[in-house]
């Protein structure tokens, strides 16, 4: 039996890390969130504050619950802050060398019993497990965007992840109020294995002039009852993120379904990244 999880460490307090920290704190865990500088930590904690305030304003959370959740979040700039954590979730930039370095450092900083997880959307978990001396305790915990809203957590097990680690991760997901699915450490896991070819196909069809982006979006939204059509979703996730995942899976598999269409690469080169910087397939500069 793995030790029960009570303290959760999060490495990185960007969009994903701050969302993960928030859902953990709302579920009652003590959360230690680490950023590389005081400035980035302050920005990450401010993002959490904004999201908690939004939940209160929407009547999703009582003000007292917000304050209790916030009081459970401790900011840090040093990995030594993870010395008492039972689980550490890595949510740094999607760069394998960086992640391998973080996992080697976590292996030294976190207690021997702690589980180490990556929130990567496309990199192989075994690469990070191999940077530690505890590969049986390493797994993927892939949260969806926006983390506080999406009810799914993908749990990714390598062929070295133990049954105890998997069970502890499933219990953790349940306590967060997420439904978990289990997937082999394989390119794209479940969601991106299906989602990325669909989104790339939409861009290819747009380039071929099959229909306008507005009509593709209307067709999928109204015809299939999806919350967003493909071009709204591409902008929402971020075109650079989509390109990164497509390239990572293509590099590993040479599967043509993951070959990025020229338009996507050119848009990213031109700085059209989606909602995050105000322009992608649609223009958000006036919002």
Residue ranges binding ligand CAA (CB under 6 A): 51, 54, 58, 121, 144-146, 148-150, 191-192, 195, 227-228, 233, 237
Nearer to ligand CAA, 16 or 206 (CB): 16
Report d(CA 229, CA 223) in Å as an integer.
Answer: 10
- Measuring CA to CA, which residue among 127, 137, 135 is closest to residue 169? 137
Residue with tokens 């993870």: 82
Q: How far is the CB of 100 from ligand CAA (least distance, A)?
A: 20
Q: Choose between 56 and 130: whose C-beta lies nearer to ligand CAA.
A: 56
Instruction: Please indicate whether residue 142 is annotated as part of the active site.
Output: yes
Query: Which member of 142, 186, 225, 269 is catalytic?
Result: 142
Cβ distance to ligand CAA smaller for residue 171 or 191: 191
CA distance 271 to 104: 33
Nearer to ligand CAA, 79 or 260 (CB): 260
Least spacing, CB of residue 146 vs ligand CAA, in Å: 3
The answer to whether residue 162 is catalytic is: no
As measured in angstroms, the least distance from the Cβ of 13 to ligand CAA is: 15
Q: Are strands 152-157 and 179-184 parallel, antiparallel or unpaired?
A: parallel
Q: Which of 18, 121, 122, 180 is catalytic?
A: 121
Tell me which residue of 24, 12, 5, 14 sits closest to 148, measured CA to CA.
24
121 catalytic? Reply is yes
Q: Find the shortest distance in angstroms from Cβ 163 to ligand CAA.
A: 26
Q: What angle do CA 79, 83, 88 make, to 5 degrees?
A: 70
Q: How far is CA 168 from the centre of its chain?
A: 19
Beta-bridged to residue 9, according to DSSP, are 32, 88
Active-site residue (options: 22, 90, 94, 154): 154
CB-neighbour burial class of residue 106 (10 A; exposed 0-12, middle 13-18, buried 19+):
buried
- Residues acting as catalytic residues: 121, 142, 154, 192
């Amino acid at each position: 039996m793995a030790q029960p999880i009570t303290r959760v460490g999060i490495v990185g307090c960007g969009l994903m890390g701050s969302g993960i920290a928030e859902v953990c704190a709302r579920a009652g865990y003590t959360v230690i969130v680490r950023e590389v500088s005081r400035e980035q930590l302050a920005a990450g904690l401010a993002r959490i504050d904004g999201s908690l305030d939004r939940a209160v304003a929407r009547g999703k959370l009582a003000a007292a619950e917000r304050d209790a959740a916030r009081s459970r979040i401790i900011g840090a700039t040093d990995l030594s802050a993870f010395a008492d954590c039972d689980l550490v979730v890595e949510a740094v930039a999607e760069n394998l060398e960086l992640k391998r370095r973080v996992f080697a450092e976590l292996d030294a900083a976190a207690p021997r019993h702690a589980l180490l997880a990556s929130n990567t959307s496309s990199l192989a978990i075994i690469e990070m497990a191999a940077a530690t001396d505890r590969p049986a305790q390493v797994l993927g915990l892939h949260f969806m965007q926006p983390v506080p809203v999406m009810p799914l957590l993908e749990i990714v097990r390598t062929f070295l992840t133990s049954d105890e680690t998997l069970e502890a991760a499933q219990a953790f997901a349940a306590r967060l109020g997420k439904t978990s699915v289990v997937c082999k450490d394989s390119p794209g896991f479940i969601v991106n294995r299906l989602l990325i070819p669909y989104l790339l196909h939409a861009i290819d069809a747009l380039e071929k002039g099959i229909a306008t982006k507005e009509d593709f979006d209307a067709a999928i939204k109204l015809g299939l009852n999806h919350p967003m059509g493909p071009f709204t979703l591409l902008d929402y996730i971020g075109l650079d993120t989509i390109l990164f995942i497509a390239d990572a899976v293509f590099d590993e598999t040479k599967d043509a379904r993951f070959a990025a269409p020229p338009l996507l690469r050119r848009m990213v080169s031109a700085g059209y990244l989606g909602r995050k910087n105000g322009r992608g397939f649609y223009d958000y500069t006036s919002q």
